Amino acid sequence: MRKKIVAGNWKMNNGLSETIELINDLKQNLSDSDVKVMIAPSYPFLKTAVDQVGDGSIEVISQNINDNKSGAYTGEVSIDMLNSIGVNTTLIGHSERRAYYNEDDALLLKKINLALESNMDIIFCFGEELKDRKSNSYFDIVKAQLENTVMKLEPNSWKNIVLAYEPVWAIGTGETASAEQAQEIHKFVRNCISEHFSSEIADNVPILYGGSVKPSNAVEIFNKKDVDGGLIGGAALNAHDFVEIIKANN
């Protein structure tokens, strides 16, 4: 059975005291469950976050990695640095990185390969823009995003990959994909993986939905057969809402 995952992407929010406070609130309110919980604070607070979550059930992950191992890349953070503080999973391909930092499929593939070589697991984000949805080209766009990146990997790599379908038009907009729209793409992606690799790989890869998930819509979305949890932005900044979303998987 696939693991249920809820990951909170804090983006460029929360200073030191808010990071500690939010983690403490989460720890107090998370009851035992089978859901894997992840949080992605900003770089300066990752080590504090790792210490703060302790041996509990929350995994601290990174929002991004650099595509080089080390060297003269001022202002950047390497995978080895993250590994050295106990951060062993990263987001790759978030739509904000694609849009504001011009991260294209070739760069994302480079990051994916380096991460996998360096014992870093991946949550790979993909999803169409509003214009693609309106012109009904969203299946082609999603397929191309995957074919240019994760479909180029060795079958063995899939055990270290989680996918996150995040339609760009639903991120931070309050506009959520309906549960049916999410299921439609998740199933499509699973079929593509099955055709390209095997039904076993397709059945085992967790596919998260992301885009304005809130306590009020989480149950309906997470109940869909091919949706294995969520990547949460805004609602992950509020302990009560994030915990409610985690519970929506039960």
2: amino acid identity, one letter: R
Closest residue to ligand PEP in the complex (CB): 233
According to CB under 6 A, which one of 210, 224, 242, 247 is a site residue for ligand PEP?
210
Indicate whether 56 belongs to the interface with ligand PEP (CB under 6 A): no
Residue 117 CB, shortest distance to ligand PEP, in Å, is: 25
SS3 109: helix
Q: Strand pairing partners for 169? A: none
Measured CA to CA, the distance from residue 170 to residue 178 in angstroms comes to 10
Nearer to ligand PEP, 38 or 53 (CB): 38
Is residue 93 a contact residue for ligand PEP (CB under 6 A)?
A: no
Residue 132 touches ligand PEP, criterion: CB under 6 A: no
Give the residue with the Cβ less far from ligand PEP, 211 or 229.
211
Smaller CB separation from ligand PEP, 79 or 182? 182
In terms of C-beta density within 10 A (0-12 exposed, 13-18 middle, 19 or more buried), how is residue 156 classed? Answer: exposed
Nearest CA-CA partner of 209 in 248, 153, 241 = 248
Q: Which one of 234, 246, 247, 249 is in contact with ligand PEP (CB under 6 A)?
A: 234
Stretch that binds ligand PEP, among 114-122, 127-135, 179-187, 206-214 (CB under 6 A): 206-214
Q: Does 232 bind ligand PEP (CB under 6 A)?
A: yes
How many residues in the shown chain lie near ligand PEP by CB under 6 A? Answer: 13
Q: Find all residues with CB under 8 Å of 95, minimum gap 6, and list them.
A: 125, 127, 166, 168, 171
Binder to ligand PEP among 22, 146, 213, 218 (CB under 6 A)?
A: 213
Q: How far is 42 from 92, CA to CA, in rounded Å?
A: 15
- Which region holds residue 14: left if phi is over 0, alpha if psi is between -120 and 50, else beta? left
Residue among 59, 96, 103, 166 flagged as catalytic? 166
Q: Is 196 a catalytic residue?
A: no
Please list, residue by residue across 69-107, b when 16 or more beta carbons sit within 10 angstroms of its beta carbon and e when fewer do.
eeeeeeeebbbebbeeeebbbbbbbbbbbbeeeebebeb
Find where tokens 């990174």 sit. Answer: 62
User: What does each C-alpha distance from 173 to 24, 46, 48, 75, 142 come to in angstroms?
Assistant: 28, 27, 30, 30, 20
Stretch touching ligand PEP by CB under 6 A, among 58-66, 102-110, 128-136, 228-236: 228-236
Q: Which of residues 144-183 bind ligand PEP (CB under 6 A)?
A: 166, 171-172
If one asks whether residue 185 binds ligand PEP (CB under 6 A), the answer comes out as no
Out of 94, 103, 128, 186, the active site residue is: 94
Active site residues per annotation: 94, 166
Which residues here bind ligand PEP, judged by CB under 6 A?
9, 166, 171-172, 210-213, 231-235
